[in-house]
Structure 1
Amino acid sequence: MDSSAARPHPVRVDSPLVTVMLPAVLAVIMLGLGLSLTVDDFRRVAAYPRAVAVALGCQLVLLPAVCFGLVLLLGLTPELAVGMMLLAASPGGTMANLYSHLFGGDVALNITLTAINSVLAVFTLPLVVNLSTAYFDVGDGREVGLRFEKSVQVFALVLVPVAAGMWARARRPAFAERAARPMKVLSLAILALIIVGAIAAEAGNVGEYLVDVGLATVVFSSLSLATGYVAARAARAGHAQAVAVCMEIGMHNTSLSLTIALGPSLLDSTEMAVPSAVYGIVVYFTAGAAGLLLRRPLPAGAA
Structure 2
Amino acid sequence: MDSALTSVALPAALAIIMFGLGLALTVDDFRRVAQHPKAVVIALIAQVLLLPALCFGLIKAFDLEAVLAVGMMLLAASPGGTTANLFSHLFRGDVALNISLTAINSVLAVLTLPVVVNVAINHFEPSGAGDVGLQFGKMLQVFAIVLVPVGIGMLVRRLRPAFSDRAERPVRTASAVVLVLVIAGALLGERENLGDYLADVGMIAVVFCACSLTIGYLLPWIAGVTREQAIATSFEVGIHNSTLAIAVAVSVLDNDTFAIPAAVYGIAMFPLAAAAGFLISRRAAPQPAG
Output one character per residue of 1:115-166: Cα deviation in whole Å (capped at 9) or x when no partner: 1100000110010000001100125361112111100110011111111111
CA-atom RMSD in angstroms: 1.5
Distance 2:232 2:123 in 1: 33
TM-score, reference length from structure 2: 0.96
Counting only pairs closer than 5 Å after superposition, residues 98-247 of structure 1 correspond to structure 2 as: 98-140=86-128, 142-247=130-235
Which is worse superposed, 91-100 or 289-298?
289-298
Decide which structure has greater helix share.
Answer: 2
Q: Structure 1 counterpart of 2:256, which letter?
A: T
Per the TM alignment, residue 101 of structure 1 is displaced from its structure 2 partner at its CA by 1.0
Q: 1:285 to 1:302 in 2, by over 3 A?
A: farther
Identity %: 55
SS at the partner of 1:252? coil
1:92/1:249 contact within 8 Å kept: yes
Give ranges in structure 1 of 5+ residues lacking alignment: 1-12
TM-score, reference length from structure 1: 0.92
SS at the partner of 1:41? helix
Which is worse superposed, 71-80 or 196-205?
196-205
Distance 2:182 2:223 in 1: 39
Residue 272 of structure 1 corresponds to: 258
SS at the partner of 1:287? helix
Distance 1:176 1:301 in 2: 37
SS at the partner of 2:219? helix
Residue 299 of structure 1 corresponds to: 286
Distance 1:197 1:171 in 2: 35
Give ranges in structure 2 of 5+ residues lacking alignment: none
Query: What is the number of equivalent residue pairs in this alignment?
Result: 289
SS at the partner of 2:146? helix
Per the TM alignment, residue 199 of structure 1 is displaced from its structure 2 partner at its CA by 1.4
Q: 1:297 to 1:37 in 2, by over 3 A?
A: farther
Output one character per residue of 1:210-243: Cα deviation in whole Å (capped at 9) or x when no partner: 1100110000000000001111011110110000
Residue 3 of structure 1 corresponds to: none
Distance 2:151 2:183 in 1: 27
